[in-house]
Amino acid sequence: MHVANPIMTLGVNIDHIAVLREARKINDPDPLMALSICAQSGADQITIHLREDRRHIHDEDAHRIIASSPLPVNLECAIEPSIIDIVCALRPHRATLVPEKREEVTTEGGLDVLGKYDLISTAIKKLHQHEIEVSLFVDPTLEAIEASERLGAEWVELHTGSYANLYAMRHSALPHSHHAIEELKLSRNELTERLENAYGTIVDAANYARSLGLKVAAGHGLNYQNVASIVMIDTIEELNIGQSIIARSVFTGLASAVSDMKTLCQR
């Protein structure tokens, strides 16, 4: 039987430090400087996304971060063979395969695990040959999870974006993401129902994944307000959180932004 870890592990996604640097295309702030602060403040993992357009983290960043991180590095990447080859050479602890569209602001949905089955399968085999464990970033559906298990991934990361958007709309009348504007027309009762459904699908997906022997992470749009109910799901063992932590760090410093989130990860 699965025994829940009393503390959810926390991967801190530091892409947004590089976003700030890229706003000026200079060398400051350097995401490398976040590593020891995150480690000392309770983070369990560093997460970065090497996007195909290199809009924030660059190859050289990924190389330096993997070489010097005191914590395991989870490298998010697309399933394109050329990117997978780069990831194999970088040898992070884990690769999380995500869908990527150039025009998107952030990763908008989970992988099309069934539609891209063969490409994902090839990517997983290559990564495993380089001793890199694999996570698939999926929408919380039973089909995606069943396919992830068949593909031989060690982890699934459940996309919490819909839950986060609905949570923000229900509690502040503002969508977490501007992509959710059409949902604003919903009444309070409809929002409550949709939020409960979105949460229920995450619970069901996490339990199902765990029952198949997969390790379960979750992420996207999680923040200091909406994380509590996700932490309650004891079949989820890890969260990957970026934007809200880096946003808070502007006002409080990175150390307290990370340790505040880690405190919320206590079950």
The question of whether 56 is a catalytic residue gets the answer no
Within 8 A by CB and 6+ apart from 128, the residues are 134, 152
Q: What is the nearest approach in angstroms of ligand PXP to the Cβ of residue 112? A: 15
Hey, how many other C-beta atoms are within 10 angstroms of the C-beta on 101? 11
Q: How far is CA 184 from CA 166, 167, 187, 191, in A?
A: 9, 12, 8, 9
Q: Which of 193/224 has CB closer to ligand PXP?
A: 224
Q: Which of 56/170 has CB closer to ligand PXP?
A: 56
Catalytic member of 49, 56, 159, 176: 49
The question of whether 16 is a catalytic residue gets the answer no
Please state, in angstroms and rounded to a whole number, the distance separating the CA atoms of residues 59 and 169.
Answer: 37
Q: Which of 15/139 has CB closer to ligand PXP?
A: 15
- Phi-psi group of 35: left, alpha or beta (phi > 0 → left; psi -120 to 50 → alpha; rest → beta): alpha
Catalytic member of 76, 100, 133, 237: 76
Catalytic member of 56, 220, 237, 238: 220
Q: Which of 195/230 has CB closer to ligand PXP?
A: 230
Which residues lie near ligand PXP (CB under 6 A)?
A: 13, 15, 49, 76, 96, 98, 106-107, 137, 157, 219-222, 240-244
Q: Which of 183/193 has CB closer to ligand PXP?
A: 183
Q: Are strands 45-49 and 73-77 parallel, antiparallel or unpaired?
A: parallel
- Phi-psi group of 131: left, alpha or beta (phi > 0 → left; psi -120 to 50 → alpha; rest → beta): left
Residue 49, SS3 per DSSP: strand
CA angle at 259 for the pair 109 and 9, rounded to the nearest 5°: 50
Query: Is the sign of the CA dihedral 99, 234, 258, 127 positive or negative?
Result: negative
In contact, 267 and 9? CB cutoff 8 Å: no
- Let me know if 172 is exposed, middle or buried by CB neighbors in 10 A (0-12, 13-18, 19+): exposed
The question of whether 76 is a catalytic residue gets the answer yes
Which of the residues are catalytic? Answer: 49, 76, 220
